[in-house]
Structure 1
Amino acid sequence: FMNCTWQAGRDAPGDAQYFLYWQNSRDDDETECELYIKDENDRHTGCRFQNVMIKDKTSYFLVNGSSKDSLIQFYDEYIKLYKI
């Protein structure tokens, strides 16, 4: 298994909700988190991955958000999971 966590932005509105997508390699489809970790306000603050196969390539992660009141800045990064 693998857990990825994040924090809401310091200026994020109360209704901000976050979503994580990842791609294990460029050959794979992008996948949304299937099991979110939630805070006391039911906001997604992490993802718990089950049965993850870590390949010797770079994986792509994207966390984006939505809010009815404002734009939420996304965060993305390429990570070599086999080096963690």
Structure 2
Amino acid sequence: DRETLASNVSCIVYNNSLMNCTWNQGSKAPHDTRYEMYYRQGGNISQCTSYFLDEDGRQGCHVSQIEVNAENVTICVNGSSYSTLIQAYYTDFSPWEYEIFNAPINLKVLLNLS
């Protein structure tokens, strides 16, 4: 059932190499559903080791090393439940399209009135 897969999956990239992805539980996913995230860039496949938790369990992942200017990233949010099969969610994106830049620090503006 497609309504068991994670919904509203969203990722942002920041500080040139960090990524946060979040998701909501599928509308028909049982309460005991546990989601895990995997990601692939190039030939490297990794499982998330740093999850965001809320009262319903895992709702996001922090990734500490993404290559912003390299290949696309494929995300898989896979779920498991004791009572039903949970459909996996897949998406593929270019990290530089989702990068958020830090504001500059120690910025000086000089006014030349001549």
Alpha-carbon RMSD: 1.2
Q: Could you say which residue in structure 1 is the equivalent of 2:74?
A: 60
| 2: CA distance, partners of 1:70 / 1:48 | 27
Q: CA deviation at 1:4?
A: 0.2
Largest Rg, 1 or 2: 2
Given residue 19 of structure 1, which amino acid in structure 2 is its aligned partner? E
Structure 2 counterparts to residues 4-83 of structure 1, below 5 A = 4-25=21-42, 28-41=43-56, 43-83=57-97
Please say if residues 33 and 47 of structure 1, whose CA atoms lie closer than 8 Å, have aligned partners that are also in contact: yes
Gaps of 5+ in 2: 1-17, 99-114
TM-score w.r.t. the length of structure 2 is 0.66
Shift >4 Å, 4+ stretches: none
Q: CA deviation at 1:82?
A: 1.4
Corresponding residue pairs, total:
81
| 1: CA distance, partners of 2:38 / 2:45 | 6
Gaps of 5+ in 1: none
**More strand by proportion, 1 or 2?**
2
Percent of residue pairs bearing the same amino acid type: 32
**Can you list the C-alpha shifts for 1:27-84, whole angstroms capped at 9, x where unaligned?**
x22100010111113x111001123332332111101100010011111011111122
| 2: CA distance, partners of 1:55 / 1:6 | 24
| 1: CA distance, partners of 2:45 / 2:65 | 16
TM-score w.r.t. the length of structure 1 is 0.87
